[in-house]
Every structure is written in structure tokens, then in C-alpha cells.
A and B are shown apart, each in its own frame.
Chain A
Amino acid sequence: MSKQNTHSHANAHDHQDHKPTGFVNRWLFTTNHKDIGTLYLILALVMFFFGGAMAMIIRAELFMPGLQLVEPDFFNQMTTMHALIMIFGAVMPAWVGLANWMIPMMIGAPDMALPRLNNWSFWILPFAFAMLISTLFMDSGGPAAGWTMYPPLSLQGGQSFAFVVFSIHMMGISSIMGSINIIATIMNMRAPGMTLLRMPLFVWTWLITAFLLIAVMPVLAGAVTMLLTDHFFATSFFNAAGGGDPVMFQHIFWFFGHPEVYILILPAFGVVSEIIPTFARKPLFGYSAMVYATASIAFLSFIVWAHHMFTVGMPLTAGLFFMYATMLIAVPTGVKIFNWVSTMWKGSMSFETPMLFALGFVVLFTIGGLSGLMLALASVDLQYHDSYFVVAHFHYVLVPGSIFALMAGTYYWLPKWTGRMYSEKWGKIHFWLSAISVNILFFPQHYLGLAGMPRRIPDYSTQFTDFNMISSIGGFIFGASQLIFLGVIIHCVYQSRKPASSRVWEGAKGLEWTLSSPPPYHSFNTPPVIDATTIAHAEGTY
């Protein structure tokens, strides 16, 4: 702290060069929001390829009927680990990384409110994931009961289950600390004049996401702790033979699980709401409606959990309640989609890579949202549930949803982070290959599910062959396309010779674009002046 205090007396221009020296000081002990953001993003990218490799194993096994490559138990470990790694290792840390980088710059703050906590939130994660992945090499193998870990099946796992539970606890601690930090930063560190309703939407969506995380991560921790004691200490929380209730786990899990899926998507709404106005050269349509819609979605996420459980059996009135509540989510989500389209309407659009990914997001996320509406209908869900239709639905909202938004955000802010332009040509090639292959990958899965193929099976009846084969081909192309993404990033960071201006994009608005590219090590040492020309969403008067 004393080091920072002496700095604040020095000339602001000095700061850029006062990074800690040496690898350990710079990265292991860092308290800087940008360095920690970078660490989060690197971890997320590594995990993305890890989880992606598992998806490739899954799609390779499903390429043809019959078992060619892996035993069913290993296949189940792959589906389970793919989900855990993609959700907790790729998408969540990537959003925290973006939050770390962007929130202080977007609200006119020098850094995050709690820098040491920030360091700890990150450095827990590599250990958590090392432990989770290490279970694959243990005698009893990795977790194989699905990422939902339903007992009694998950309790049949071997000793490695304890490692899985401990790693989930560590991820939860990291998420909670990260969220506390984000809330503290947004509540306390805004520049004068940056009122709540002038904040960029990315900041708003993250604020709401952080509250969701704090509310539900302890619920998950409780659920997995009960699994732990059922497994190793002979309790009977979920053991029917001991007076427990296996269905109770599902209620607890999905009370965490449904807000969790909005944790994965709400920051995506934020990023897309920043990018579309920039490239439409037109202010975001209905800023305050967007904020209220986000808050409504967050509220609804707490009262719809049992729509994951329509087949478990529940009273008719409960079924009706959860069906109606789930259908209601379509209203605020619709508002968002209409507002994005209205933002484009009568704009002056150009189609650089971030915009392409944002547009891809709007179209493909909408498809995922519409299949979500179909799944909400409890009675038809008795057909859809646990089939490939569901797999198609949630991959549409997660891959061309969350992950496209993450890529859009990466391309959008990469020049700001590095001070250099990425290769627009290769960015566009990455987009088109991804956008086409993701549809070849996931669209046929709707057909498979409707035709009766259950999810999480390593082998299938021969009538499902064609669409599985097509889906796998799409999967391989999609997987390979992501190597282009890696290449574009590495090229931009180390090789690109094209400098980025501080504004980078012609239509970009917001405080982050008033800083140089790359920005100084401590973002804003003196609070910036807030007026209609510097902030992203200038609704109302100044």
C-alpha cells in the first residue's frame, strides 16, 4: 500500500512504467487489476482448450454407432469433466477476467477495490483445476455422474470424489471473493458523476451477476458438502434407505444451477450491449429498459429451478407454477433482443470482427432462447427432457451465446489491452468458420432429441447415425477454428506492428477509450470528468 501512496504523489505519466519487476513479483504477487485480468483470461483460454479436447473425444466416439475409442465409463467422465471445466474453468473465469480488466476502466477507477483479495481469488483457481483434472489419473477415475452430480449415482464414485468436492469448494470461494470485489468496486470506486444509471451495461450486468454468485455459490457448496458426508461419513441426506431424499439434492442443486446459467449469460448481454452501439454508431436503444430487464431476469432465475425437474414428479400446482414462471423469462429476454435490433435500426453499421460475433450472438442466442420457451412447457418437456434437444438448447445459449460474446469482447478490447490491432482478416475467418460450424454441430442435435436420442449416452441406435456424423464433423471444424482464435491473439500480443489508437473504433464511447492503448498500469489516478461525450450511454441530462 505504501508503494501506491508514494506513487500517487508522482506525475501521472510515470506510472505506466512502474510495473513490478521479475516474473514472480509481476504475476504471482500482483495486485493489479489488468495483470489479474490477464491471468484470468489466460486460465480461461487454457481451460477452453482442455474442455474442448474432451468435447472432441465425445464427438469422435459419437461419430459412428458402436464403441470405437473409449469405454462407457471414460465417456461419462468426459461429459462430466467437459461440463465442469467449460462452466467453472472457461466461461466463469473469462467473465471475471473481463470484469477485472474493464470495470475499473469503465467507471473511472484506478484499480479494483480489494486488490489483495483479487490476487487470492485468481490464484486459488489453478490449484482447484489442477486438483479436478488430477482425478482423471486416479484409480477410481474422474467424476462420471454428470456435472449435476445427482445422488445416488455420484455417491458410487470412488475416493476421487473427495477431490472433486474440494475443488468445487475452492472455485466457489474464488467466485464469492471475486464477486465481493466487483460489488465493492462498483459501489465505491465510481468517478464523481458516474451515477448508477450512467454505468455501461457491462458494469450493470456484472453487478447483478455478482449478487447472483454470492447468493448461489454457498448453496452449491452446501449441496456438495452433503454429498461428501453421505459418501465418506455415512450420513443420509440423500440416501433413501437411511431416511434421506435423493430429490432434495436436485432442488438444492438447481436452486444454485438456474441462477448459475444466468451467471454465464448476463455478462454476455452486457458485452453485446457495448459492442452493437459502437459499430452501429448509434446509442444503445432503451438503456434503462435493458437494466431493468437484466434485474428481472436475475430475479426470475430464483423461482424457476424446478423446470429442470418436471420428469422427477411434482404436484400439478408446482408444475404449473414453474411452467408459468419459466415462460415469463421470455418477456425481459425479448425486451433485450428487440432493443439490440432497435439499436441497429437506422444506424450506420460496419462489420468488424467484434460486431460479427455480437450479431452472431443475437441470432443464435435467440434460437437457443426460443427452444428454451419450448422446454418451459411442462407437459411437452416430458418428451424433450434429457434428450439431445436439451443438449442442443443449452449449447446454443452457451456456445454461440456466452462464448461468442466472450470472443466479441476479446476482439473488441484486445487492441485496447495490447496497444496493437489484431488481424482483421483472420478474425473474420475465425468468425465465419465458427458461426457456420457451430450450426452444423448443434442444429442436428435438435432433430436427434426429437427423434428420441437420450443425452449422455456413448453409443446409439443406428437410426441416429447420419445426424451424429454431421454433428461430429461440425464439432471438429469448430474445434479446429478455435486454433485460429489462439493464433490471432498470439499474433496481436507479440507480432502485430499496427498500433491501436486510444479510441480504436470510430464509434466507441465510454471511459475506457479515453485512456491510451495500452492503458497506463493504474487506470485513472485522478477521476475523469464525466459528460455526455465520454460515457457510453448518455441517456438523460448532464
Chain B
Amino acid sequence: MKKHNTFIVAAAVTAAVIAAFWLLLAAPGYSGNEINMTRGVTTMSAINYQLHMIVLWICVVIGVIVFSAMFFSIVLHRKSRNHEAAQFTHSTKAEIIWTVIPILILVVIAVPATKALVKMEVAPETEMTVKITGFQWRWKYHYVEDDIQFISSLDSISNAARRLSSGIDPRSVDNYLLEVDHPLVLPADTKIKFLITADDVIHSWWVPALGWKRDAVPGFINEAWTEIMEPGTYRGQCAELCGKDHGFMPIVLKVLPKAQYRKWVQGQKNRMDDERSEVERLWSREELMELGEDVYAAQCAACHQADGMGLAPAFPALAGSAVTNGPVSAHIDVVLHGREGTAMQAWGSMLSAADIAAALTYTRNSFGNKSGDVVQPQTISRIKNGKIHRK
């Protein structure tokens, strides 16, 4: 008899250990571990959270009923208890019941699920538009009405800590891998339309607090909308595998009250005006090298590496390369227009003329490259505007 009960004891102990284990570790108050979907800060995220909870509990109830019947049977209808096997093979009544009831449950789930999808897909009138462009491995944000644009990349502290065997403990970094240099700043209580696309491969823009993600597909513009009810900072990540640094492409939203947001917009406009006048003056070699070093670290080093040695075979070295030491016009061409079929971006539309000029100057005079060339922002600006013909 003792042996016969081993199974029940083993099953019960297993279940108890696993349950206790989860209760202990899963209790958010106890361990700080989040285990459930966020309620978020938008109408859509709240709707999705509710739908998630409804269907989760329906699943739990179904699971409990099915497993109870099964374990009841396992405990009672055993050979070791000398239970005689019945020989019935079917029951039309039972089979109809357990086909019809699940269909009814599905209908019950389908009603809120349909409403939620309609709400998501049918956008209301929006008050502003942000165009989001994903590219390897950063996001570009363009505020369509205010004509502000900038690139948002992983911040430098996380970027240093995330290197293989960096020696930096990720726990010592605030918001490790979820911090960017330039967050997307948005106003609260405003209906915002997003136009989401990509420049190279498919990415996916996901901030859980907004309640959805949308793929950024090259050649397509996806629409999504939101209205964020609480000011604050919300974090997310790229959710579609997009190459080696897919895991290092965070999104940070900084949501400000409307008045503060207007101030921020004015600041950005001033910055962009400054940049425009900066392009027209002649820069010194030292200025360009200094800015170039920063731009290189933020934009280029992910592939070409901090020492310019690249990562064979996909990412070529810049140290001693024919491009960085050859004619400057060819180098400018590659940087502005990218190289098709490789991860090299067309940076012309991504970075300012000053940034590009500085990066060019820096790469042509670093890593042992000694071209001595100085590329002026106005040269880049004129090429971009078609005032100088390439080649």
C-alpha cells in the first residue's frame, strides 16, 4: 500500500513545493519582482489590462476544473485501489456539452476583445503627430508639426556596461539598458498620432505603459495613437529582432504637463536654429575632432568599434581602410547614402551636417588614419541640399 501511494505523495509534494516557491517569489511586495502586465497610463493600456485579466481568470477556472477532474480520477480510479475499469467509449450528450460550452465562453471573450481591437484600430482625431523611424540600433523621432527631430540611442553608461566582460556591474547602472541619451518628450492629456516606419530592417516600438507595440517596417508606415494621462517617465524596448544590438535599443518617454511641454518645444526650436547657424561658419579642426569623437562613440562605435577595428566580417575596420584614407568625396558618399545590402545606414537624413562633418573629420584622422582632411559642416550641408554635385 505504501508503494502505491508514492505517486500521490510525489505529485502533492511537487505541487506544494512549486506553489510555495511561486507565491514567495512572485509576491511583488516581497521581492520587487513584477509578475503581471502593467495597467499602464493610457485608455488602451487599461482596456488591454482588463481584457488580459478577464481571459487569464477564465483560463485559470477552466484549468482548475479540468485538472481537478483529472486528479480526482488519478486518485480514485487507480489499479492500486482495485478500481474496476468501466468500459464506456462515448457519450453524445457529454460531447455536445463540452463543445457548446467552450463556444459560449469564446463568445463571451470575443465581445470585449472585439471592442478593444476596434478602439485600438479606429484612431480618434489627434492633436499632434510624431514620426518614429527605427534603424539599427536607435530610434529617430520627428515632431511633424514643430519640425523637431533627433536620434535617441542607448545612453553611454549602459553602453559601456553592456560590453562583453565589461567589468561594470549592471546593477550599479541606473535603468540599465533602459536609458537613452535623448528621450521622446510628449505632452500629457493630448491625443497623439504616431507614424511608425523603419529605414533598414524591421523593428518594433514597444512601451508597455502605452498598452501596445507596433512594428516598424521599411517601406510601410504604420499608424498608432495614444493619449497619456499621467506625466512621468516610461520605458520600453525594441521588440522585433533587428540584428546584433536588438537588445540595446531602448525607448524612453518623458511625458510632461502641456505647459512644460511647450517650453521644451521652444528650447528644441532654438537648438535647431543654433545648429543651422553653426553649419554656416567655418569650424576649427580641434572643434570637429572633439565633436567627432562624441558622434563616433554614440553612432558609429557599435559596429566599427571604439578602436576603429570593426567586427569582421560584417562590420569593416575604419583603421587603415581605403575609404577613410581615400578620396574624401567617396567617404562622404558612403556616410550620407549608406551601403545597400549592409548594415551601413544612410546617415544623411539621420544626423546634422555638423555631426556628419565632425565624424568624417574624426575617422579620417584617428585610429592611425592620417589623411589630414578637415570636412566642414557647410560642405556636407551643400551636398545634402544638392548644391554641390557628388563626384
Which residues of A approach B to under 8 Å, CB–CB?
Answer: 64-73, 76, 139-140, 144-146, 150, 152-153, 155-156, 158, 240-241, 244-247, 280-289, 311-313, 316, 319-320, 323-324, 327-328, 330-331, 334-335, 337-338, 341-342, 344-351, 359, 362-363, 366-367, 370-371, 373-374, 377-380, 382-383, 385-387, 432, 435-436, 439-440, 443-444, 447, 450-452, 454-463, 465-467, 470, 539
Contacts and interface: CB of A to CB of B under 8 A. Distances in A.
Nearest to A310: B117
Contacts of B56: 374
B70 A341 contact: yes
A460 B48 CA distance: 24
Nearest to B343: A156
A515 B45 CA distance: 61
25 contacts: A67-B166, A68-B165, A150-B201, A280-B85, A285-B89, A286-B90, A287-B89, A289-B95, A311-B204, A311-B239, A316-B122, A319-B117, A320-B117, A324-B110, A328-B106, A350-B78, A373-B55, A382-B120, A432-B14, A436-B17, A447-B36, A451-B37, A451-B38, A456-B246, A467-B33
A240 B220 contact: yes
Contact of B208 (A69, A383, A435): A383
A436 B14 contact: yes
B59 A373 contact: yes
B-side interface size class: 35 or more
B164 A67 contact: yes
A510 B54 CA distance: 44
A335 B101 CA distance: 11
B84 interface: yes
Given A284-B89, A345-B69, A450-B35, A320 B114 contact: yes
Interface stretch (B210-218, B279-287, B323-331): B210-218
B12 interface: no
A450 B36 contact: yes
Nearest to B40: A383
B222 interface: yes
B258 interface: no
A330 B343 CA distance: 42
A25 B216 CA distance: 55
Interface of B: 7, 10, 14, 17-18, 22, 25-26, 31-38, 45, 47-48, 51-52, 55-56, 59, 62-63, 66-67, 69-70, 73-74, 77-80, 82-91, 94-95, 98-99, 102-103, 106, 109-110, 113-114, 116-122, 161-166, 168-171, 173, 175-178, 200-202, 204, 206, 208, 211-215, 217-220, 222-223, 236-248, 311-314, 340-343
A379 B47 contact: yes
A153 B243 contact: yes
B103 A344 contact: no
A352 to B, nearest CB: 11
B34 A282 contact: no
A341 B69 contact: yes
Nearest to A431: B10
Contact of A386 (B7, B59, B178, B213): B213
Given A152-B218, A240-B219, A67 B162 contact: yes
Given A320-B117, A330-B106, A370-B63, A283 B87 contact: yes
Tell me the interface secondary structure of chain B in the complex.
Answer: mixed
A435 B17 CA distance: 13
Contacts of B37: 383, 450-451
B120 A379 contact: yes
Contacts of A443: 22
A55 to B, nearest CB: 17
B177 to A, nearest CB: 5
Most buried by B among A144, A348, A466: A348
A356 B103 CA distance: 31
A142 B74 CA distance: 47
Contacts of A240: 217-220
B319 to A, nearest CB: 20
Given A348-B83, A371-B59, A539-B90, A386 B239 contact: yes
A349 B212 contact: no
A321 to B, nearest CB: 11
A379 B51 contact: yes
A127 B142 CA distance: 50
B208 A66 contact: no
A462 B174 CA distance: 9
Contact of B26 (A144, A337, A447, A456): A447
